């Protein structure tokens, strides 16, 4: 019975922390601005997901037969390689790719004001995907454009963040997309 309680402990602790933070989020003081959501919406949404996830895991552990092995985080995540294969092949390291990814991230931040969010994010997603050694260009272009558009839609339409539109001629792309998505 003790292993079962040990398996429950992380979920109960995170559930307690989530409940406390949710209580705090319900006591935010702010002045409502028209039909826009307040600063309490996103913390509440994320904390709700955390609490629901913990409750589901707690119920899963409690419903398991008594003689079953405890389910820990490693069991949930799983190991993609069997032990023999994992021990036989040493992990590959790619320091140049890591350095390239870091440089691309720094460049992304540096160019955000000039290129605007959409163009810069599309280029960043594409460059990171290519740096990660993916080679199919039609897929890279499609994922980059769709990803940048999805991020722009979420951040500007749902979260109401003001993103950089860039300088001309890049600002024309951002403004056209904002008009197309109905963002003012």
Cα angle: 65, vertex 70, 75; to 5 degrees: 120
pTM above 0.75, yes or no: no
CA distance 96 to 92: 12
pLDDT in tens, 23-55: 888 887 777 777 766 667 778 888 999 999 999
DSSP 93-125: --HHHHHHHHHHHHHHHHHHHHH-HHHHHHHHH
Answer whether 44's CB lies under 8 Å from 77's CB.
no
pLDDT at position 119 = 95
Instruction: At 148, list the tokens.
Output: 């940048």
- Chain-centroid distance of CA 97 in Å reads 22
pLDDT in tens, 48-98: 999 999 999 999 888 877 655 555 555 555 555 556 555 666 778 888 999
Q: Report the interhelical angle of 170-181 vs 137-153 (nearest 10°).
A: 60
List the domain boundaries for the chain: 2-88, 95-181
């Amino acid at each position: 019975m003790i292993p079962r309680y040990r398996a429950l402990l992380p979920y109960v602790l995170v559930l307690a922390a989530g409940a406390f933070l949710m209580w705090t989020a319900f006591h935010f003081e702010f002045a409502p601005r028209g039909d826009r959501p307040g600063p309490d919406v996103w913390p509440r949404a994320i904390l709700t997901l955390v609490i629901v996830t913990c409750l589901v895991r707690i119920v899963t552990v409690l419903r398991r037969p008594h003689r079953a092995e405890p389910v820990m985080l490693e069991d949930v995540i799983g190991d993609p390689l069997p032990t023999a294969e994992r021990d036989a092949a040493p992990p590959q390291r790619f320091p140049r790719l890591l350095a390239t990814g870091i440089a691309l991230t720094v460049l992304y931040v540096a160019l955000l004001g000039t290129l605007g969010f959409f163009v810069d994010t599309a280029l960043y997603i594409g460059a990171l995907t290519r740096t990660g050694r993916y080679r199919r260009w039609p897929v890279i272009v499609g994922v980059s454009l769709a990803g940048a558009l999805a991020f722009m839609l979420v951040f500007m339409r749902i979260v109401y963040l003001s993103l950089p539109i860039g300088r001309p001629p890049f600002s024309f792309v951002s403004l056209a997309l904002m008009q197309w998505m109905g963002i003012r």
